[in-house]
Structure 1
Amino acid sequence: MWKNYLKIAWRNLLKNKGYSFINIGGLALGMAVAILNGLWIWDELSFNKYHDNYDRVAQIAITGTYDTGTYEGEEYIGTTMVYPLGTKLIDHYKEDFEHIVRISWNSEQILSSSEKSLAGTGHYVDEGAPELFTFKMTHGFRAGLKNTHSIMLSASMAKALFGGDDPINKVIRMNNKTDVTVTGVYEDFPHNSKFHHVNFFAPWDLFLLENKWIEENTLTDWRNHFIQIYVQIPSTSTFHKVSDKIKDVLEADPADAEQFMQQGRHVILYPMSRWHLFPPYTGPSELEPVKMVWLVGSIGMFVLLLACINFMNLSTARSEKRAKEVGVRKTVGSARNQLIYQFFSESFLVVILAFAVALLLVALLLPWFNGLAAKQMVLPWSLPGFWLLSGLFILFTGLLAGSYPALFLSSFQPVKALKGTFRLGPYASVPRKVLVVIQFSISIVLIIGTTIIYQQIQFGKNRPVGYSREGLITMQMKSEDFYKKYESLRTELKNTGLVEEMSGSMGRITQLASGNGGFDWEGKDPNNDANFGTLAITHEHGNTIGWQVVEGRDFSREFASDSSGMVINEAAAKQMGLENPVGQSVTWNWWEGNREPMDYKILGVIKDMVMESPYEPVKPTVFYIKGHNGRINWINIRMNPKVSISEALPKIEAVFKKIIPSVPFDYSFVDEEYKTKFTAEEQIGKLTTFFGILAVFISCLGLFGLASYVAEQRTKEIGIRQILGATVANLWGLLSKEFMVLVIISCVIAIPISSYFMKNWLDNFVYRTNLSVWIFAGASLGAFLIALSTVSFQILKAVFTNPVESLRSE
């Protein structure tokens, strides 16, 4: 029986090649989108599952609420910890954990073998880290970090340094000052791991040895947050149980801990399962990946729905042609359920063929889609689970696409069908029209959403940043040689005429590297315990980056007193409530670990610079002079605008190699770094644009098929009207009106829906674009013109047919 069903289904496909192509092509596109969606969502949901202890690893975090500022009352999670907290957990709570591991933040280092010097990103960690994160070792063992002067390399870094040689026990030099021995090589972490970028891990004791300031100032300081702490709980325990036990560990410490820790702050365990999908709160404009998963997943399902709607519409539209077939089958004894099976078999045949085409499309599109989505996904051909899910996917799509046609076609009355008196009636096309409206409503919503996302990104990019990004490059001072030869390097570069100015800073220009409290000034509100961004710089920083002084003056080497001077931004002046801030004294009660307060004089006020999110208010920030003693760890270079970048860079590199030959010339453009601030929004925009274009195309494909069918059904009517004198314009207007009304209804439905959802999305941003009426009008007009051009092709083709050809059988 099933063999017969499939044979008839195959014959019907061959008999109607045009409609078969539209059906299979449309479904294939929809299924390809769904498969790409599924791969993307799986990649997001499986983030960090590479680590065997995924369900028992957590990060120590502090939770609380902002008590001042823009986000007052909002909850946050902080993952930057104070040093004594790690010590206390190790000394007093060790029995609650299998591993307690302190980890430094990303550290960029120069790794040098006998022949090569490469820049690498890594962490200093306690010796339990390889077990905690279950390194997959290719050489050596996980217990390789017990020796202070040891190092573990990623497989790619080991290959880059040593080629095919065995790296174990090879000696490399870090930052041209410390020799370490390679004791292990681990398999590169996958792209969907938190540590996918890490090239090396070095011992925690080496970190302390190289950073004497930690031992001098922070071993007992509960105010300086600069480390991360990761833990693994026993299989017999739970995160909730351990969190309850350690939540008040801060309050249990000395009085100065309570003085600097806000009330209501608690220590918690932040599970690895939440790191990626629910990252620590950083502000309302932060788009949580879990929301992006829901967004992309829902768009994929909508695109698949559009493809299924095409199948339903074309199947039911051609129902009159199959009425006699249904009548004959019922007359010779076919039950309705047998007819339902017949039409479902046709549906599943189309779906199976479409799925095969979809897999081919995915295989071809995946490299491009990986670039679009910043992923490294592959089709898991060898996994049984993939084929099981594929079977379920085919079943779901087949039932979704074939249910309405099967139930509709099997309901025909055999007597009317065989007499030729069968007519669908005036309301038979209503379901098809509803489905077309749904199709175009979804498409228009996607068009409007994509346009607004693009506008929001451009709004952020066009926001004044308070300095000049063009012709500005920056590089990290990864070696002691930078500090020793800073002045020589600056002088040589300026003498070339290629560089206007060079400065040093504590952090990147596009990031705020540090924040502190403890500032006092005359007239300060006792309840104002605001936290300020703090950035150590050299005297030339303002001239180098081109910040704009609005009051007072910039730093100058001509005034020795500027070493105790301070430049603040407009947000800081507003936070302090100072009408005339220049010349005012500010006392910093805690200054980089020193207990003694330090007095500063405000020299000038600069325009607010966007150093963090371009969609959030600028943080109150103070800039101060700090010598080249290790805290100034970034070099910023303003190139001469009269010299082309392609000409200047090789010559600048030559100066670097002359002054500091031991360090690679590893730089980045500040304007490129600034662009990375829009990565999340741009990724949403690219994905919605891609899916939106496919949605419109699939909708037009269905409309094309329906227009073709309508034109075919009304061929004789068109011929008679032509003979009676109807013009091409009359006929085109008559036949296209029905479709255009449906598109107009779709616009009316889509505009309020898209307006509601996009307004809610924009409300996440403090700085945001406006919802312009022209966006909705333009999207609606675009959809209308696309639909009009789609149906016009088939209608005009029918109109220009010679009426003799269509009427000669009458």
Structure 2
Amino acid sequence: MLKNYFRTALRGLRKHKAHSFINITGLAVGMGVAMLIGLWVWDELSFDRYHGNYDRIAQVMQHRTVNGNIGTGAAIPLPLHAAMREQYGSDFKHIVVSSWADSHVLSAGEKKVSYRGSYMGSDAPEMLGLQMLKGSRKGLQGPSGLLISQSVATALFGAADPSGKMVRIDNKAGFLVSGVYEDLPRNTTLHNLDFIAPWDYYINSEDWLARAATDWTDDYFLLYVQITDHADMDRVSEKISHIMRGKAPGEAGLQTEIFLQPMRKWHLFSSFKNGINKGGAVQYVWLFGILGLFVLLLACINFMNLSTARSEKRAKEVGIRKAIGSLRMQLVGQFYAESLLVAVLAFILSLLMVALTLPLFNQLVGKDMFIRWGSPLFWLICIGFTLFTGVIAGSYPALYLSSFRPVKVLKGTFKAGRFAATPRRVLVVMQFTVSAVLIIGTMIVFKQVQFVKDRPVGYSRDGLLQIATSSNELHDHFNALQADLLQSGAVTAIAESSSPVTGVNNQRSDVSWKGKDPNMSVEFNNIRVTTDYGKAIGWQLAAGRDFSAAFRTDSTAVILNEAAVKYMGLKDPVGQVLRVGKRELSVIGVVKDMVMQSPYDPMKQTLFFISPDNEGYINLRINPKLSTHAALRKIEAACKIYAPASPFSYRFADDEYAKKFSNEERTGKLAGCFAILAIFISCLGLFGMASFMAEQRFKEIGVRKVMGASVFNVWCLLSKDFIVLVTIALGIAAPLAYYSMDTWLQRYNYHVALPWWAFVITAAGIVLMTILTVSYQSIKAALMDPVKSLRLE
């Protein structure tokens, strides 16, 4: 029986080729989109599951309450590490302290490469469950062992065995390779951990690190833990929450609460607002998951519409089958077999589409996804997915067509009924409602990104170059480097800073001034600079003067941004004296606010002051009279004189600033792609519906033409119903899009107003596409010779 079902279904597909093409293509596109989104969702949900102890690993974080405002961060003071071991050691299997992952120069012989890595406690490899290719996870026990990833091993040693070989970090200390681990996949938070150096060496390498061991106010380190097998994550988190209470004396109004952020939440639930977790990447998982289901639903709607639209064509077939003894369930089975056959053919086509587009999709979303051809689970999911699609697409046609009464059909008195087309109309409205919401949303996302990009940043990004100094060589020879580059004409200004111009690495709370409320706890961005910093980045003075080498007193001077002046309540800031730590600094100038952190957030109060201890970044303003290529060549040559062992690595400020919009732009591109596909599927369905309507009203059109109807009259007759349906869809889509996008924009402190033109352009575009889609069939029918349609009458 099943064989006959599918044979009959195949015969029907061959007979109605255009109808079959539209059904299969529409379903294939919908299934392809759903598969791509499914791969992406799976990749997101499996984030960090590479680590064997995934469910028991956590990062120690803190909520800091300052004057009623709660900020959440991962940076912790170093003494917390020892305090947790001493007071709560029985609750943890591993407690691992770590530096921040940063770029370092690794050298072995003449080979020099730049990779990111961290200094971590000796338990880190075991806790993270690293897959060792050579050596063991105990390689960090001692101050001279070094674990490197497979990529680093290949870059430094090629195919040779790196075990026991010497590697220098930043041309300073030498380490012996004690192990090589498998590269961490991209869908792990620590995927850029290319090497792990011993914490025992790091803690003794700098004087400030020795001081930090007892300083509860220096939040600069990271702390990871693995709880014991019998412990509960929430209970342990609650137990340690007040461990820092009273540890930072003198900070009035400051409250600190420690908590554990489980690894399963690192990626999906990384966003906090006022101490409350507000989700994170999980919001996009839900968004695109629902989007994938909607696009698949649109394709299924096409199948339902076209199948039920042909109801009168198949009415006699159903009547004859019932008359000769077919049961309704047998007819249901027949129609389900047809939909499943279409689903199978569409799945094969969609699989081909996914295989061809996956590399481009990976590039768009920044992932390394692949189809698991050899996985039985993959094929099991595919079979279930195909069956689900076939059943959903064929359910309504099967139940509707099998309900026809054979007596009426065979007597010729069968009529589809006044409301028979209502379900199809509802489905068309649903299709275009979803499509319109997607298009409006895409336009608003891109408008928001452009709005924030156009926000004044307070400095000049054009020609601004940043060099991260991972070693001290350039810093130690900075004056000579500055003189050489200025003399060469490659740059017009050069300065050092402790933070890049597109980020802030340091904050401090030990700031006071005349008139400050003694109960007020404060937090300032803290940036150490050299004299020409303002000239190098092109900041804009609002009051006072810039730093100058002509004033020796500038070593005890400070420049504020406008946000700091407002925060401190200073009416005439220039000349005021601030106490920063143990130093007294005089305010010599105020600069306009600069966007150095998230462009979506309000400006934060910032201090700039001169300090010789500001190694970290060199900021260079390229001479506009030179080509960028020529200037870079001169800069590289000068850097090689003072840091010959370090590869020349640089970043442009405008490129780094552009990265701040990557998530929103990626969301907009994805939504845009899916919106285009949704419209394509919807228009494909409209084309099929218009084609069938023209066929169904073949004789009516002939009669109208004989009676004098023009081509325009016939076009209006066949098009008006679709225009009405699309208009209704737009009326429903507008408030839905308004509400959803307004809610999305409220996440940002700095956001665009909802643009009215996005709704108008979307409406006009969809109506135009509908007219163009329907017009081909309408005009084709209107131009047909009426003799052909009336010759049998």
Indicate the TM-score class for this superposition, using the shorter chain for normalisation: over 0.9
Write the distance in 1 (CA, Å) between the matches of 2:539 and 2:762. Answer: 40
Write the distance in 2 (CA, Å) between the matches of 1:538 and 1:28. Answer: 61
Q: Is the 8 A contact 1:550 1:607 kept in 2?
A: yes
Write the distance in 2 (CA, Å) between the matches of 1:743 and 1:708. Answer: 17
Within 5 Å, give how 1:56-455 maps onto structure 2. Answer: 56-63=56-63, 65=65, 67-68=67-68, 72=69, 76-215=71-210, 217-251=211-245, 255-257=246-248, 259-260=250-251, 265-281=256-272, 288-455=280-447
Q: What's the secondary structure of 1:776's corresponding residue? A: helix
Report Cα offsets for 1:466-500 as digits up to 9, x if no partner. Answer: 00001111011112211221111111111121211
Q: What's the secondary structure of 1:423's corresponding residue? A: coil
Q: What's the secondary structure of 1:257's corresponding residue? A: coil
Q: CA 1:172/1:444 → structure 2, altered by over 3 Å: closer, same or farther?
A: same
Moved more, 714-723 or 46-55: 714-723
Match of 1:618 in 2: 603
Structure 2, unmatched stretches of 5+, are none
How far off its partner does 1:669 sit? 0.7
Match of 2:482 in 1: 490
Q: Is the 8 A contact 1:626 1:632 kept in 2?
A: no
How far off its partner does 1:261 sit? 8.2
Write the distance in 2 (CA, Å) between the matches of 1:646 and 1:716. Answer: 72
CA RMSD of aligned residues (A): 1.6
Moved more, 689-698 or 418-427: 418-427
Q: What's the secondary structure of 2:19's corresponding residue? A: helix
Write the distance in 2 (CA, Å) between the matches of 1:260 and 1:121. Answer: 35
Write the distance in 2 (CA, Å) between the matches of 1:63 and 1:199. Answer: 30
Within 5 Å, give how 1:509-524 maps onto structure 2. Answer: 509-524=501-516
Q: Percentage identity across aligned positions?
A: 48
Q: Is the 8 A contact 2:271 2:277 kept in 1?
A: no
Q: Is the 8 A contact 2:252 2:521 kept in 1?
A: no
Could you tell me which amino acid in structure 2 is paired with residue 695 of structure 1? A
Match of 2:749 in 1: 766
Q: What's the secondary structure of 2:59's corresponding residue? A: strand
Write the distance in 1 (CA, Å) between the matches of 2:88 and 2:278. Answer: 34
Match of 2:592 in 1: 607
Could you tell me which amino acid in structure 1 is paired with residue 624 of structure 2? P
Q: CA 1:706/1:344 → structure 2, altered by over 3 Å: closer, same or farther?
A: same
Residue 682 (structure 1) aligned with residue 665 (structure 2)? yes
Q: CA 1:729/1:31 → structure 2, altered by over 3 Å: closer, same or farther?
A: same
Residue 744 (structure 1) aligned with residue 727 (structure 2)? yes
Within 5 Å, give how 1:678-717 maps onto structure 2. Answer: 678-717=661-700
Write the distance in 2 (CA, Å) between the matches of 1:188 and 1:529. Answer: 44
How far off its partner does 1:723 sit? 2.5
Write the distance in 2 (CA, Å) between the matches of 1:486 and 1:287. Answer: 44
Write the distance in 2 (CA, Å) between the matches of 1:407 and 1:367. Answer: 41
Report Cα offsets for 1:110-152 as digits up to 9, x if no partner. Answer: 1111121111110000100000001101111111011202211
Q: What's the secondary structure of 2:133's corresponding residue? A: strand
Q: What's the secondary structure of 2:585's corresponding residue? A: strand
The equivalent position to 1:570 in structure 2, one of 562, 565, 579, is 562
Q: CA 1:280/1:149 → structure 2, altered by over 3 Å: closer, same or farther?
A: farther
Moved more, 346-355 or 717-726: 717-726
How far off its partner does 1:805 sit? 2.8
How far off its partner does 1:684 sit? 0.9
The equivalent position to 2:635 in structure 1, one of 646, 652, 662, is 652
How far off its partner does 1:427 sit? 1.1
How far off its partner does 1:77 sit? 3.3
Q: CA 1:604/1:263 → structure 2, altered by over 3 Å: closer, same or farther?
A: closer
Match of 2:23 in 1: 23
Could you tell me which amino acid in structure 1 is paired with residue 142 of structure 2? N
Q: CA 1:277/1:256 → structure 2, altered by over 3 Å: closer, same or farther?
A: closer
Q: Is the 8 A contact 1:285 1:766 kept in 2?
A: no
Structure 1, unmatched stretches of 5+, are 591-596
Q: What's the secondary structure of 2:204's corresponding residue? A: helix
Residue 533 (structure 1) aligned with residue 516 (structure 2)? no
Match of 1:797 in 2: 780
Write the distance in 1 (CA, Å) between the matches of 2:126 and 2:195. Answer: 15
Within 5 Å, give how 1:545-584 maps onto structure 2. Answer: 545-584=537-576
Q: What's the secondary structure of 2:268's corresponding residue? A: coil
Q: Is the 8 A contact 2:105 2:646 kept in 1?
A: yes
How far off its partner does 1:282 sit? 6.0
Residue 664 (structure 1) aligned with residue 647 (structure 2)? yes
Q: CA 1:258/1:19 → structure 2, altered by over 3 Å: closer, same or farther?
A: farther
Q: Is the 8 A contact 1:285 1:615 kept in 2?
A: no
Match of 1:52 in 2: 52
Q: How many residues align?
A: 792
Match of 1:7 in 2: 7
How far off its partner does 1:286 sit? 8.3
Could you tell me which amino acid in structure 2 is paired with residue 60 of structure 1? V
Q: CA 1:285/1:715 → structure 2, altered by over 3 Å: closer, same or farther?
A: farther
How far off its partner does 1:651 sit? 2.7
Could you tell me which amino acid in structure 1 is paired with residue 670 of structure 2? L
How far off its partner does 1:387 sit? 1.7
The equivalent position to 1:636 in structure 2, one of 601, 604, 619, is 619
How far off its partner does 1:280 sit? 4.7
The equivalent position to 2:495 in structure 1, one of 488, 491, 503, is 503
Q: What's the secondary structure of 1:508's corresponding residue? A: coil
Write the distance in 2 (CA, Å) between the matches of 1:322 and 1:730. Answer: 30
Could you tell me which amino acid in structure 2 is paired with residue 148 of structure 1? P
Q: Is the 8 A contact 1:514 1:533 kept in 2?
A: yes
Q: Is the 8 A contact 2:66 2:255 kept in 1?
A: no
The equivalent position to 2:705 in structure 1, one of 717, 722, 736, is 722
Report Cα offsets for 1:724-745 as digits up to 9, x if no partner. Answer: 2222222111211111011111
How far off its partner does 1:285 sit? 13
Report Cα offsets for 1:309-344 as digits up to 9, x if no partner. Answer: 000000000011100000011101111111111111
Match of 1:594 in 2: none
Report Cα offsets for 1:63-106 as digits up to 9, x if no partner. Answer: 355535xxx3xx54322110110011123322221111001011
Q: Is the 8 A contact 1:145 1:152 kept in 2?
A: yes
Q: What's the secondary structure of 1:119's corresponding residue? A: strand
Could you tell me which amino acid in structure 2 is paired with residue 227 of structure 1? F
Report Cα offsets for 1:369-402 as digits up to 9, x if no partner. Answer: 0011111101112222212222221222122111
Q: Is the 8 A contact 2:67 2:521 kept in 1?
A: no
Q: What's the secondary structure of 2:512's corresponding residue? A: strand
Write the distance in 1 (CA, Å) between the matches of 2:151 and 2:653. Answer: 28
Could you tell me which amino acid in structure 2 is paired with residue 543 of structure 1? K
The equivalent position to 1:544 in structure 2, one of 519, 523, 536, is 536
Q: What's the secondary structure of 2:122's corresponding residue? A: coil
